Amino acid sequence: MQESKIVFGKWETAALLINALNVQVFLNFPRTMAERGGTAGWILAAYISVLAFLLFLLISRLYSRFEGKDLLDLGEYIGGSAGRIIVGIIILIHITFIISIILREFAEDMKVISLPASPISFVILFFLSGMIAGAYAGIEAIVRFHAFIVPIILAGYLIIIGGVAPYYNISNIMPILGNGAYAIFGSGFFRISSFSGLIALFLLFPFIKTGKNFKSAGSLAIGISSGVLITSALTFLLVFPYPSAIEGFLPIFQLARLINYGRFFQRVESIFVMIWAIAALLYLSMGFFLIVYVFSKTFRLEYYRPLIIPMAIIVFAISLWPKNLMSAIAMETVYFRSAAWAVTFGMTLLLLLVAGAMKKRNHRKEGDRK
Amino acid sequence: MLANFRKTLARLFTFEEPKTKERFILKETEEEMAEGGQKEQDKKVEPRKKKNEGLQLNKKSGENEENKGPKPDISKALSENMERIKDIYSIPTNGDAVLREFDLVVKNKVIPAFMVFFDGMTDRKVINDDILQPLMLLSNLDIKSDEKSIADYIRSHILPHNQLKEFKAIEQVVQGVNFGGCGIFIDGVDSAFVADVKGWEHRAVERPNTEQTIRGPQEGFTELLRANTALIRKILNDEDLIAESLTIGRRSRTPCSMMYIKDITNDSLVKEVRRRLKSIKVDYLFDSGELEQLIEDSSFLPVPQIMVTERPDKAASMLAEGKVVVVMHGSPFALCMPVTNNELLHSPEDSYVRFPYANLLRFVRIMGVFLSLLLPGLYVAITNYHQEMIPTSLLFAIEASRERVPFPSVVEILIMEISFELIREAGIRIPGPIGPTLGIIGALILGQAAVAANIVSPILIIIVAVTGIGSFAIPNFALALGFRVLRYAYILLGAIAGFLGITTGLFLQGIWFVSEKSFGVPYMAPFASKTAGGIADQFARPPFWKQEKRADYMNVKDARKQPHISRGWKSQEGEDQKEEDDDAGK
Amino acid sequence: MKRTAAFLLMLAATCTLLSGCYDGKEIDDQTYVIAIGLDKGETNKLRMTLQYAIPLAMGSSGVSGGGGGGGGEGESKSIGSMTLECPSVYSGLNMVNNSVGKQVNLSHAKVMVFSEDLAKDGRMVMLTRAITRGKEFRPNMVVAVSRGSAEDYLKSIKPRQEADPSKYYELKFSGYKYTGFIDQTQLHDFFIKEESTGAQAVAALVGVNTKNSTKEFSVGESSAPQKNRPVPFEGDYLAGNLPKVGDIKGEAMGLAVFNGPKMVGELDGEESTHYLMVTGKYGHAYVTFPDPIKKDFYIVVNLKQSRRPTYKIKLVDGKPNIKVEIKLEADYMSIQSGINYESEYNDIFERSAEKYLEEGIKRLLNRTSAEFHSDIFGFGNQYKSRFLTWDQWKNFQWLDRYKNSTFEVAVDVKVRRTGLTIRNAPIQGSEGEVQSP
């Protein structure tokens, strides 16, 4: 690959991951949390953050023996070309579906928020053009742009969170355990899929090079993201009490709508549209790049750029599959977000464990030979 | 035409293997990678004499040219040479080419000779006093030493002129003469002398016109190459400042000077600039603006990738940052490279005024950029798509003022923007004293009349005016131009899809800018591709004593500008350290 | 690179082709509704009154609005209104668009007024729930209940001080910060409280004052007789019956209390003040107290809420016992009797003021539980923290239990400042020092 010379710094990688993990906040993460955890949705968010962090530590420990190798390389290590292709196809299906559905959701939400009369394909085209441009410019540009924009997105997010402070009502997050301990700590476990964006890190390891950067960028990203995820769920619940909270759609938009300071500074949610759209564009272009990158790597293609247009058409087509907004949300929340953990964490751990065992055995064999 | 279109269309959907082209990336210097900057000081202590030679019009490159240059073809017969010169300069058709024949006497031998120069480009007095007089009169004097050849004799005894070169090839002589020299041919000598007697009319050093500051030096570059290099050298006073001479232009052979500070600037950068300059093949060059377009990385990027400055102090400070400055003969604008988007927003004044105010200035300038780039687009987007976010009273004011306007707001704003561009363009073209008057007419009368005639709404005049003011606040003229172009894209995007359009535009622009490089330096450094000290040192401006390091992305040989404690009086320790530094420097 | 550029250009071209600017609407192609009134219809479900701004008449642009200065007597030209009967709000908007040239836009609507009968039969709550789905209805739009018809109320609003009529509504409904007579009941709040399991909703009460001359004033209209007051205090009125004549007939005073979807009662101005004190939203206002020493005289203070109130809620025999502590600060504004409360009798005043407020607040609290069965203060939300899970709390059925609540109120009044006077000197006359009559 012509890109393999590129190396990212710690912050750049972390910025990429922060956006990948937090973009769901702008969709319906807070609402899902509220739905599952009731008034304790924020505890659920904190719980899965801790879980994700522990899992990440485990993975990065296992990964230390395979520095600079991504999941595809691991697949190849285990099962040769067949292994690589199997892993590649699983990842490809996973990312393609997530990106397509999220593309659709973003476009639908944008339509609801500010372009009610425009056809959905028109709105999707805007996002698609960003994705294509991002993929053409390559991962280096995407990552650099993340490093530049993510702080701005975070600042915008903080303004929204801080702006609704007059509406906070502590009693809204009582009773403290919400839907009960089992809903949070038991079945809530599968919500760890919220961190499935981490797969980007496992796929971009060759660009990160050192295991130290891998670990610190991952930890930093999970740290900041969990801060954002927890505050988003918490703020949403503080402002919208539990039963009303799960009614609304686009939680952060609903929060932004409330901001008002005096007669002048109100109705600023349209500014939020900008932050929201740029986060979406970053995320989608990153995801889209991963699709073409994984595809080209899986099938050992020398160039990825020719894949961009066909892939874009596929993603565009898939994004138009769901009949309506509700089924898009349902597909995202029910299916992907609860099954995505299996790909991100399950498959990664499996690959690492098998590869680790094989490496040990090979090592021993070599030792025997000597 | 159609076939061409079909070909393009086919190219869009088929795949061609891209030609692999190594893109220049400014990497850390080898020394830096190997030993980490610390060893620089040893390197500094190079023999000094050698350096001084470097100062004199780059002997090295001259030699180079001689080696591989044209064949020595000056004949020993004077008449032959004269015929060739007459042929080359089309004498006597060419009115300002002067060919003067004379005789000189060496060792009691009368030797015919002639000289050739351009009238007007040379200094008559110098030719008369320092060349003709000695040759014709002094050659009679009694000679004490016994020189072997006439050429040596003339050079070492007869011609007292300070810049005298001897060439074997006619072509070199012609070049010298073309550039204000005086060629001297002597019978029986198979070489010719070129005396530098430039004396053409030129502008004196004046205040810079386009980059004015309140504090700081008030000199600007002129059209003379040597005057410009001298202006820079005068500021830096550093023997490590190298001014490599290059000639560009197959016909014009315009002399250029590539300047850098030897022990700061990254070698690979110097090499890359030299490579690009040398590879240029055009007939003539008229201004550094053309040179800029020939060596910049991307012609399609709307913003400049080379900083153009009229101020010697700015060029000097760029050199001190480890950049390369190219000065071209005939252009009062020096080119500084590489440059990042962020640096284009800096003004020399930033470092001359005190730090609190400098930061305010920078902030205001960033505002200016955003206003000039986005304000009209945002106005269209907000008024067409996001009316809810306008404060109600303002909304009603806009509604009332737009009520009688027959155009949609996009058309309205395009009309105003274009007429504003017209005023601006006309203001530049109109002869001096009328210029400002036209500005007033344009701004006041036209705006007022347009409002009164209900062609545009008064709010819009404010938008356009603020946008214009914003673009004037950008210190770099070319950058302001770039944003002016992009502004129209944002107006259209805002009209098509409101904030979504504008955000998509920002995203595309961002991806585009981020993937560009200026001479191997990421264009959006230090933010996108984050480097150390990005915000604190490059975006904001710390107090002068805290600006300790050169920009990280420049990968210079010597990263430190000043020691950690640069104000010795602040602490005793500092003073000690300073002394140590001085010692080390010597 | 070239191909990229070409592709992007093509994409951009398709975008423009596709667009035709679907959603782009010019500001001057729309008319902005600033207030919506809903009544029961005669021939249809609803009677909707839309009040919209006429910016051209505001004379703000100054270009050719020169003639606007004259302004008809009592007639504000900056507002237009339209009433129609329709099955629902959105269908009504559609119908309005048939006669209004510009498209009706609700994104700047400031207030939504429902008539009392809509509120009482539960349709108001249904309607508000239905409209929160729409993006155009702002969550911080004020929801109000009109005593009498909403149409009349909106028609009575003819702001003449404000060039922009929306400003009138915005300022009027944020005036509770210095009057304490209403609450700025925003759509968001109203909606959330309607669905809350620990609080019930209130809405600002508005009305039209029909008096044309001062002769029509009567004490009977006020709630003073029920409170055993010979003379009504400033807060003893409901919207629409203030003893007042003037240009502006519309009034906002008091609160409508809801139990579930239905409006069950009204609070007068004073009770609204107490409501704000208990919920901690009270800003500051002039409050009249009877003089503790010389009856028949009044002491007026500027009362401020310095801290948030604290609540202690416990269950006694399954009945909630609610203890509220309120801390207030006061500045003397006027002491009619001339007694030096500033120095000697400060304590006396403070105690009597506390007692007076405690009584008032207790009366209100008892009224909400016994008469309205409605926890408008959100005590339930405070009590919620005692529970661990949502199901426990839900099964507790707070809103049902509230009607059996008992209350304890502790008010703490501290006088901090005395205005410009620090001591009253006696008035001198030919008979020497005159004690105030």
pLDDT tens-digit readout, A133-161:
888 888 888 888 888 888 889 998 898 88
Tell me if A2 is assigned to some domain.
no
Per-domain boundaries in chain C:
29-56+77-267, 270-426
The verdict on C103 touching A (C-beta cutoff 8 Å) is no
Give the pLDDT confidence score for residue B377 in this predicted structure.
92
The percentage of chain A sitting over the pLDDT mark of 70, rounded to a whole number, equals 96
Higher-scoring residue by pLDDT: B261, A114: B261
The verdict on C306 touching A (C-beta cutoff 8 Å) is no
Q: Which residues of B touch C8 (CB under 8 A)?
A: 508
pLDDT tier for residue B335 given thresholds of 50, 70 and 90:
very high
Average pLDDT in the B457-484 region?
Answer: 86
Instruction: Give the burial class of A120: count Cβ atoms within 10 A of its Cβ; 0-12 exposed, 13-18 middle, 19 or more buried.
Output: middle
- At B214, phi and psi to the nearest 5? -90, -45
Tell me if A3 is assigned to some domain.
no
Shortest CA distance from C168: residue in chain A: A263
Give the pLDDT confidence score for residue B37 in this predicted structure.
39
Closest Cβ opposite residue B497 in set A126, A142, A270: A126
Residuewise pLDDT in 10s, chain C (437 residues): 566 777 677 666 665 555 556 677 888 888 888 899 888 888 888 888 988 888 887 754 444 433 333 344 444 578 888 888 888 888 888 888 888 888 888 888 888 898 888 888 888 888 888 887 777 888 888 888 988 888 888 888 877 777 778 888 888 888 888 888 888 888 888 888 888 888 888 888 888 888 888 887 877 777 777 777 777 888 888 888 888 888 788 888 888 888 888 888 888 888 888 888 888 888 888 888 888 887 788 888 888 888 888 888 888 887 888 888 988 888 888 888 777 777 778 888 888 888 888 888 888 888 888 888 888 888 888 888 888 888 888 888 888 888 888 888 888 888 888 878 777 777 777 777 766 54
- At C294, phi and psi to the nearest 5? -100, 100
CA distance C341 to B445: 68
Closest Cβ opposite residue A273 in set B15, B392, B500: B500
Shortest CA distance from B20: residue in chain A: A2
pLDDT tier for residue A338 given thresholds of 50, 70 and 90:
low
CA dihedral sign, ordered B61, B63, B69, B72: positive
Q: Is-contact C2 C80, C-beta < 8 A?
A: no
- Tell me which of B66-70, B439-443, B485-489, C429-433 is least confident: B66-70
Would the CB atoms of C170 and A254 count as touching at under 8 Å? no
Return the residue matching tokens 């300038």.
B365
| Residue B312 scores a pLDDT above 50 | yes
Return the residue matching tokens 């209940």.
C145
Shortest CA distance from A130: residue in chain C: C8
The verdict on B351 touching A (C-beta cutoff 8 Å) is no
Q: Which residues of B touch A12 (CB under 8 A)?
A: 529-530
Q: Which residues of B touch A133 (CB under 8 A)?
A: 507-508, 511-512
Residue A33's domain comprises 10-299+306-369
CA distance B9 to chain A (A): 14
Shortest CA distance from B515: residue in chain A: A141
| Angle B39-B44-B48 from CA coordinates, rounded to 5° | 155
Sorted by sequence, the CB contacts under 8 Å of residue B473 that are 6+ apart come out as B364, B365, B367, B368, B372
Would the CB atoms of B510 and A126 count as touching at under 8 Å? no
Would the CB atoms of A281 and B512 count as touching at under 8 Å? no
CA distance A182 to A174: 17
CA distance B500 to B522: 27
Best CA proximity match to C287, nearest among C357, C221, C337: C357
CA distance A71 to A73: 5
The verdict on C385 touching A (C-beta cutoff 8 Å) is yes
Closest Cβ opposite residue A129 in set C8, C198, C378: C8
Instruction: Give the burial class of C37: count Cβ atoms within 10 A of its Cβ; 0-12 exposed, 13-18 middle, 19 or more buried.
Output: buried
A-proximal residues of C, 56-95, CB under 8 Å: none
CA distance B337 to B308: 9
Tell me if A126 is assigned to some domain.
yes
What single-letter amino acid sits at C117?
A: D
Would the CB atoms of C63 and B408 count as touching at under 8 Å? no
Subunits adjacent to chain C (3 or more Cβ pairs under 8 Å):
A, B
Q: Which residues of A touch C197 (CB under 8 A)?
A: 243
Per-residue buried b or exposed e for C201-220, using 16+ beta carbons within 10 Å of the residue's own CB: bbbbbbbbbebeeeeeeeee
Would the CB atoms of B504 and A126 count as touching at under 8 Å? yes
Return the residue matching tokens 């973009």.
A23
Shortest CA distance from C30: residue in chain B: B399
Would the CB atoms of B402 and C105 count as touching at under 8 Å? no
Higher-scoring residue by pLDDT: B16, C271: C271
Selected for mutation to probe chain A from B514, B523, B524 (highest A CB count within 10 Å) is: B514
Tell me if A209 is assigned to some domain.
yes
Q: Which residues of C touch A243 (CB under 8 A)?
A: 195-197
- Tell me which of A132-136, B148-152, B547-551, C380-384 is least confident: B148-152
Q: C-alpha distances in angstroms, C347 versus C69, C293, C299, C416? A: 55, 12, 14, 12
Q: Is A173 helix (H, G, I), strand (E, B) or coil?
A: helix
Give the pLDDT confidence score for residue B505 in this predicted structure.
92
Q: Is-contact C254 C271, C-beta < 8 A?
A: yes
Give the pLDDT confidence score for residue B1 in this predicted structure.
55
Q: In the predicted model, what is the mean pLDDT of chain B?
A: 80
Give the pLDDT confidence score for residue B58 in this predicted structure.
40
Higher-scoring residue by pLDDT: B188, A227: A227
Give the pLDDT confidence score for residue B195 in this predicted structure.
85
User: pLDDT tens-digit profile of B71-120?
Assistant: 777 888 888 888 888 888 888 888 888 888 888 877 777 888 888 888 88
Q: Which residues of B touch A273 (CB under 8 A)?
A: 386, 499-500, 503
Tokens of C322: 């609610």
- At C252, phi and psi to the nearest 5? -130, 120
Bond prior to B92 in cis (omega within 30° of 0): yes
Would the CB atoms of C15 and A267 count as touching at under 8 Å? no
The CATH number assigned to the domain with range C270-426 reads 3.30.300.210
Give the pLDDT confidence score for residue B65 in this predicted structure.
43
Q: Is-contact B243 B273, C-beta < 8 A?
A: no
Best CA proximity match to C192, nearest among A242, A251, A244: A244
Most confident of A58-72, A336-350, B236-250: B236-250
Helix (H) or strand (E) run with residue A251 in it: helix A251-258
Best CA proximity match to B305, nearest among B275, B336, B276, B282: B336
Tell me if A4 is assigned to some domain.
no
| Residue B41 scores a pLDDT above 50 | no
CA distance A114 to B503: 13
Best CA proximity match to A225, nearest among A250, A200, A254, A189: A200
CATH number of the domain within which A358 lies: 1.20.1740.10
Strand partners, B193: B166, B184
Per-domain boundaries in chain B:
44-70+202-339, 78-196, 366-521, 534-585
Would the CB atoms of B404 and C64 count as touching at under 8 Å? yes
Q: How many helices (H) and strands (E) does chain C have?
A: 13, 16
The verdict on A273 touching C (C-beta cutoff 8 Å) is no
CA distance A247 to A254: 11
Q: What is the ipTM of this complex?
A: 0.91
CA distance B38 to B40: 5
HEC secondary structure over A279-330? HHHHHHHHHHHHHHHHHHHHCCCCCCHHHHHHHHHHHHHHHCCCCCHHHHHH
Give the pLDDT confidence score for residue C337 in this predicted structure.
78
| Count of all residues that appear for chain B in the document | 586
Give the pLDDT confidence score for residue C74 in this predicted structure.
42
Closest Cβ opposite residue A258 in set C8, C15, C140: C140
CA distance B475 to chain A (A): 23
The verdict on C195 touching A (C-beta cutoff 8 Å) is yes
Backbone region of residue B499 per phi and psi (left: phi > 0; alpha: psi in -120 to 50; beta: other values): alpha
Average pLDDT in the A57-72 region?
Answer: 81
pTM of the model: 0.85
Tokens of A9: 């710094």
What's the structural domain count of chain A? 1
Give the pLDDT confidence score for residue C404 in this predicted structure.
84
Give the pLDDT confidence score for residue A192 in this predicted structure.
79
User: pLDDT tens-digit profile of B369-378?
Assistant: 899 999 999 9
Sorted by sequence, the CB contacts under 8 Å of residue A31 that are 6+ apart come out as A236, A245, A246, A248, A249, A251
Q: Is-contact B480 B424, C-beta < 8 A?
A: no
Tell me if A119 is assigned to some domain.
yes
- At B193, phi and psi to the nearest 5? -100, 145
Would the CB atoms of A123 and B386 count as touching at under 8 Å? no
pLDDT tier for residue A199 given thresholds of 50, 70 and 90:
confident
Q: Which residues of B touch C32 (CB under 8 A)?
A: 387, 392, 395-396, 399
Give the pLDDT confidence score for residue B327 in this predicted structure.
92
Q: Which residues of C touch A116 (CB under 8 A)?
A: 23, 135
CA C50 to chain centroid: 20
Question: Alpha-carbon dihedral of residues A102, A105, A111, A117, nearest 10 degrees?
Answer: 110
Subunits adjacent to chain B (3 or more Cβ pairs under 8 Å):
A, C
- Max Cα distance, chain A (Å): 82
Give the pLDDT confidence score for residue B503 in this predicted structure.
92
Best CA proximity match to A310, nearest among C429, B347, B194, B14: B14
User: pLDDT tens-digit profile of B185-229?
Assistant: 888 888 888 888 887 778 888 888 888 888 888 888 998 888 888
